[in-house]
Structure 1
Amino acid sequence: MSTSRRAFLFGRKLPDSGWQRFCQRLARTCQGLLRVAEDGDVADLAPLRAQDVRHALALCAEHGVQLALADASASLPILPTLRVDPSNLNDLAPLQGAPGFWRAGPGCTLETLAAAGCTQFQVEAGADRPVQTLAAWLSGPAPAVLCPTGHGLASGVAAVDVLLADGSAITLGPFGAQDRQPLRGATLQALVPALFELSSSEDAARCLAAPHWPWAGRLDALQPVHGGVNLAHLLLGQGGALAWVESVLVTAMPAAPQAPARPVAAAGDMAAIDGAGARLADAVKQRFDPLGRFPALPLRLSDPY
């Protein structure tokens, strides 16, 4: 039966492209506001439930669509793209049995977190800037400034529940002999050893020498200055390019530590560090998202010196 006759008999126009089929299925599956651009394969989704993003990512994988965090600092995504705004996923609740810890949704605002006592998210009085979500903060350059190299602990991020590119829902948090949580799932069991291998490379050694880690994919999380290894700190400044953040366990932290004083690097040394950082960023992206389900990593988030 021809498309025109089928549409006449059933009283509706059938989608005539993979993008249109994707958007129709997304509208049927997910709750929340969906806006589809009239020109170009770009849509914006403001989901009402965490499971809506899981459904959306599955559809993205099936239809070859990238899923991007709205207002993230990742490189411009390639088309077609679904931009997801987490603003409705803004729950904040104290963690039972753990005073001072809060479970926050990706859409929780920095102002809300600061009001709960997490002063590291305090917005300067009179600051003229839009309300920022926790997911956007995690994806942007702020953690690079707040947390010098090896000091991911200063972020107050204790653990992160994330959705990986292959659809796996995992928790990234404390790791090591003192941690009782095993690595669950084949994806995580393969990912973590690969990241530790990268963190012991010559490129990583160059980056660890910089006062600030400006590149996305913070392998310095695996060689912390204080405390144990925390896999959640890998995502500080990730640009929305490594995983989708479903929730974050946060706690209040004191003033951020000062970056260690280092002599001014020669131009050649800085170029070498930049090159090492770029290679590491690409390698981390490949380990987390080999199929490019999320946008490309931003190579630099801030000046390492």
Structure 2
Amino acid sequence: MLKALYQTFLQERRFLKNCSPKTLRSYGQAWNAFKALLDPVTAADQVRQAVKAGVVEMMSAGKLQPSSINVYLRTMNAFLRWGSIEEHFVPPIKGVPLLKTPTKVIPTLNETQVQHIVQFRPKWRKERRVHAMAMLVLDTGLRLNECLQLQVADVDLDNFLITVQKGKGNKQRKVPISGVGRKVLYRYIAGGGDPNRRFVFTTVNGTAMTQRNADRDLKHMGRKLRLDLHWHLLRHCFGSLFIRNGGNVADLQRIMGHAAVTTTMLYVHAQASDFVMAHNTLSPLAKASR
């Protein structure tokens, strides 16, 4: 009975909330993580206890980090909340508190490392393609999948804008580009082969690139620059430097496509270099020695 109810929950998430296939797969993985304890449940008042028991079991096994368990737990809490609102669970069931996880500073690049990427001189077609993609992410904070699905028709060079047609949650948004970013896109689109192609970043055959190929090409460029590069690092770099250079959280939230401002607030943190500069200015010892 509970499994059938969960399938209804998934269907509503798919057709009413427009959840992506990737999100739906993660929901399926969450059910599988708790399946052994949820399958025997026959009464609503047993559901929360089964989820709590599943969390304890996963923690005891020691195979998953608390942050990974929380991914499953957020899905189960969404299911409990949905079931309560739709009155499948009477009385309503409270969610299970998330596990405490350590707060980590988001990894990023410093401005010197960003300069190395900007000044990289690609020699081959694949290098030109991945360098243009990296420059775009540093300029806009796009997710990798948003880059791969970006179409030539979505690039408005006149108004310094690109349109992300299907961001996270299948949401459309407008993202500004800088003057430098516009030059990069213009040069790449104009010199990238077929001017009538659909996607901005394509394979030799004109089809959209795969994530696997994009990861491979970025790693190759990173080795040449002696940097450990990955796409989310470039996105993090955009968010961190945007705030450090004076940008505000509301603008960053819209640009990066965050549903919740709490996600954007992760970028409002001081890097080690900021602490050093502030300490040099404010330390009583440093001030007394001037």
Same structural fold, with TM-score higher than 0.5 when normalized by the shorter chain = no
**Structure 1 length normalisation: TM-score?**
0.28
Question: Larger strand proportion, structure 1 or 2?
Answer: 1
**Structure 2 length normalisation: TM-score?**
0.29
Q: Name which structure has the greater RCO, CA cutoff 8 Å, separation 6+.
A: 1
